Amino acid sequence: MSTLNIEQFQRDVLNASMSAIEQFRADFPNTQVCGFALYSDADARTLAPSFNTQDHLNSVQAAYPGEEQYFKWSPAEWSHEAYGGEFFNDLSKTLWDKVDFV
């Protein structure tokens, strides 16, 4: 089993993030983004991006009074969960292959 080169993995995460951000900006040029997050599943086998828009945040916060912080900080509830996820497929495969050996 090969070990994970953490420095290379960090560079790959940065590159995938930048690609996802560039894709979002190209597809939604006039959208005000209020959040970007990377998150994983419970067993750290995947890595996924999530974007939130100000319009979506305002809408869900108005619909669920008292839950403003939840919707602000929960990427799974954001408007574009996993948008640009294809840029993280190879990284997720790497995590999937390595996690059993941790």
Q: Compute the distance between CA of residue 58 and CA of residue 79 in angstroms, rounded to an integer.
A: 11
CB 75 within 8 A of CB 85: no
Residue 11 to residue 37: CA distance in whole angstroms: 17
Q: What percent of the chain has pLDDT over 90?
A: 84
Using the 8-state DSSP alphabet, how is residue 5 labeled? Answer: -
Residue 100 scores a pLDDT above 90: no
Residue with token string 């991006």: 49
Residue 20 has pLDDT above 80, yes or no: yes
Average of per-residue pLDDT values in the chain: 94
DSSP state string for 25-80: HHH-TT--EEEEEEE--TTS---EEEEEEHHHHHHHHHHSTT-HHHHHH-GGGSTE
pLDDT digits (tens, 9 = 90+) for 29-79: 999 999 999 999 888 889 999 999 999 999 999 999 999 999 999 999 999
Q: What is the pTM of this model?
A: 0.88
